[in-house]
Amino acid sequence: MNPSNGKGSVSMASSSGGWKAGDVVLDQFPAGLRVLVVDDDPTCLVILEKMLRACLYEVTKCNRAEIALSQLRENKNGFDIVISDVHMPDMDGFKLLEHIGLEMDLPVIMMSADDGKNVVMKGVTHGACDYLIKPVRIEALKNIWQHVVRKRKNEWKDLEHSGSMEDGDRQQKPSEDVDYSSSANEGNWKGSKKRKDEDEETEERDDSSTLKKPRVVWSVELHQQFVAAVNQLGIDKAVPKKILELMNVPGLTRENVASHLQKYRLYLRRLSGVSQHHSSLNNSFVSNQEAAFGAMSSLNGLDLQTFAVTGQLPAQSLATLQAAGLGRSTTKTGIPMPLVDQRNLFSFENPKSRYGEGQQQQHLSSSKPVNLLHGIPTTMEPKQLAALHHSTPSLGGMSIQVNTRGGQSNSLLMQMPQPQSREQILNESTGSHVPRLPSPIGQPIMSNGIAGGVIGRNGIGDSGRGTLYSHVPPTSSMVSFPLNHPTELASNSFPLGSTPRISNVTSKGPFQEEVNAEIKGSAGFMPSYDIFNELHQHKSQDWELQDLQFNASQNANPVEGNLDVSPSVLVHPGYSSSQRIGQNRTASAIGRTIYSGIEGTEQGNTQIIGQNLNNLLADNPVRVKAERIPDSCNQTTLFPGHFGQEDLMSALLKQQPGGIGSTETEFDFDGYSMDNIPV
């Protein structure tokens, strides 16, 4: 092809662009699209630049992520889309992705010569809108404009929704957060999920494309103002409206704040949970609570778990709660669920058994982990968590939700991707409480200890909690708490008191942070054994998918150790949920599954988590003492693997008096905005 041909084809591409006629605002769109390319390989950088120029885009190239970030910050609104390499020496591509998502909200495309499923998954969970495998062909670059349009469309929709919600729904939902978050979530979700629908609405397309809503660029200063406002209000009380008022920035809308809040929560979760490299359980369904669900990926999983665990809420109940509260969550979970199912799903069978035993031990030994949970006051760990990190919107929303829900095992529930229905419910229910639920379950991944702690907090006495874990996905044969048996998360032992552990956990390792965060949230999470189990099970790979809140990114796997969370709650003695928790799933109900999952999943994670837990537990694998499990019913309920939502709900509700107390009452999903879970 001689150059002219190439050009010709290029121009054709740009002009025809498959662009729906009506939608094109700018005649030449996508020509002129402002692209920023970041890659440390000079050869690739030059080639990409040339290709993008051939597509008639405006290209800026950088070979350092830091430089790219500063360029983006200086030129707010100066770029439409960013393409970044995954492996870079100065900063991990995923980290850059997060930053951009948080601060500038631009679509980001990842690329790498690495086409391993894990890495691609990580891209997805961290919010990349696409992933290209090197060598990149020019054909692949010709269509990147679609991401820009899609994003704008979603933003526009969000705006629309928020607006209407504002007017009409004030009364409907008590918490504004929910409104906004949901709308925001919906918007985001839409992007991911209902792409088709949106696409079909040409009209909207027109608007979105033509509209070009002035995108709010979250500069460092603005972001700091935001963070200050959030901290002032308290992460759990931080609703967009109030934040907006505090910030007092002219031209800033509540919608802007709401979507940013979601991201922030996910980010926090992620931070607290695990370093990014861990399974980007971005699914951090940082539910409204934002409970520490900052770190999307790992955090989410963990958070939920912890919450779940501590939440003592039967996963199911959590899910239901969440579902109820969130409403949306179902949808959300829907997405992650499929993924999660594979992983985690609480192979309750295993964890249960473990759980029982582990719990006790964990409880005992890991008094610390339990503390973690305790640390996460049922009331709302989210605050703490939030403080820890930016809660990144949980992908699955599930995990987060669980946690927020008052730390009930909801989070756990959420995490349990497997029983999708269940989990969803859990997520939903837990959503609000998620933060609360120490979701040890979620944590399982993170640190077994945490889970334990979390669970413990919830006054593990929640027999009902155990039910939460019912989701133990059969797939995860987590029961074998291989690592530390996170399941030992001592659901038994955790009786709510364990929450304090959670806090401990946080201090430990990355996961710990997440765990802590999560635990914090999940005051009464059921032992996130499940989560842990799940974590184990799904080694990083799955977990990432499982946004289920199991932030327990693989790192979290250590959960085993962390499963201090009174697994009892989550775990049925049989749960090796702790094992599952490898992933950062919100241990809550899910915890059980988590445990199983965790075990299955990376050992490494469990280790990490375990470490945390260990620290807490004093190196005792979280043993969920089966005996401890106060409620045999928990076990039964939990393990059956299919806890009727009703069961969970009731379990959860019953637990209220326990440490969970507040958490349960907090099942006001409304408050939890489902963060946009970039999927």
- Kindly list the residues in this chain that would bind another protein in the complex (CB under 8 A): 1-7, 40-44, 46-47, 50-51, 54, 85, 87, 89, 112-114, 134-138
Q: Compute the distance between CA of residue 595 and CA of residue 590 in angstroms, rounded to an integer.
A: 8
CB of 116 to another protein, least distance (A): 11
Which residues have C-beta within 8 Å of that of residue 26, sequence separation ≥ 6?
32
Q: Closest CB to another protein among 42 and 168?
A: 42
**Is the CB of residue 84 less than 8 Å from the CB of residue 39?**
yes
CB of 43 to another protein, least distance (A): 4
CB of 96 to another protein, least distance (A): 17
Q: Closest CB to another protein among 477 and 554?
A: 554
> Whose CA is closest to 306, among 523, 139, 601?
523
Q: Closest CB to another protein among 46 and 220?
A: 46
CB of 66 to another protein, least distance (A): 18
CB of 9 to another protein, least distance (A): 9
Count the Cβ atoms, other than its own, within 10 Å of residue 43.
Answer: 8
> Pairing mode, if any, of strands 58-62 and 81-85?
unpaired
**Is the CB of residue 666 less than 8 Å from the CB of residue 276?**
no
Q: Closest CB to another protein among 20 and 50?
A: 50
Q: Closest CB to another protein among 88 and 571?
A: 88
CA 212, 282, 117, 189 torsion: positive or negative?
Answer: negative
CB of 54 to another protein, least distance (A): 6
CB of 6 to another protein, least distance (A): 4
| Pair of tokens at residue 61 | 């190239």
| Element spanning 59, H or E | strand 58-62
CB of 45 to another protein, least distance (A): 9
* 37: β partners: 61, 83
CB of 64 to another protein, least distance (A): 14
Count the Cβ atoms, other than its own, within 10 Å of residue 250.
Answer: 5
| DSSP structure class, residue 67 | H
Residue 220 CB-density burial (10 A; 0-12 exposed, 13-18 middle, 19+ buried): exposed
* 62: β partners: 38
CB of 436 to another protein, least distance (A): 39
Q: Closest CB to another protein among 118 and 632?
A: 118
CB of 577 to another protein, least distance (A): 31
Q: Given the structure tokens 């609703």, which residue do they identify?
A: 239
Q: Closest CB to another protein among 138 and 211?
A: 138
CB of 5 to another protein, least distance (A): 8
Q: Closest CB to another protein among 111 and 451?
A: 111
**Is the CB of residue 303 less than 8 Å from the CB of residue 549?**
yes
Count the Cβ atoms, other than its own, within 10 Å of residue 278.
Answer: 38
**Is the CB of residue 354 less than 8 Å from the CB of residue 577?**
yes
Q: Closest CB to another protein among 119 and 616?
A: 119
Helices 297-311, 315-326: axis angle to 10 degrees equals 120
> Whose CA is closest to 369, among 469, 266, 478, 518?
518
Collapsing DSSP to helix, strand or coil, 133 comes out as strand
| Alpha-carbon torsion, ordered 606, 607, 612, 615, to 10 deg | 130
Q: Closest CB to another protein among 2 and 16?
A: 2
Collapsing DSSP to helix, strand or coil, 663 comes out as helix
Q: Compute the distance between CA of residue 626 and CA of residue 138 in angstroms, rounded to an integer.
A: 59
Cα radius of gyration rounded to whole Å, the chain: 22
CB of 99 to another protein, least distance (A): 21
Q: Compute the distance between CA of residue 562 and CA of residue 606 in angstroms, rounded to an integer.
A: 8
CA 390-111-279 angle, 5° bins: 45
Q: Closest CB to another protein among 51 and 380?
A: 51
Phi-psi region of 274 (alpha: psi -120 to 50; beta: other; left: phi over 0): beta
CB of 39 to another protein, least distance (A): 9
Q: Closest CB to another protein among 89 and 251?
A: 89
Q: Closest CB to another protein among 22 and 42?
A: 42
> Pairing mode, if any, of strands 108-112 and 130-133?
parallel
Helices 448-457, 367-375: axis angle to 10 degrees equals 60
Collapsing DSSP to helix, strand or coil, 132 comes out as strand
Q: Closest CB to another protein among 93 and 397?
A: 93
Q: Compute the distance between CA of residue 233 and CA of residue 391 in angstroms, rounded to an integer.
A: 15
CB of 48 to another protein, least distance (A): 8
**Is the CB of residue 296 less than 8 Å from the CB of residue 245?**
no
Q: Closest CB to another protein among 49 and 201?
A: 49
> Whose CA is closest to 45, among 88, 95, 9?
88
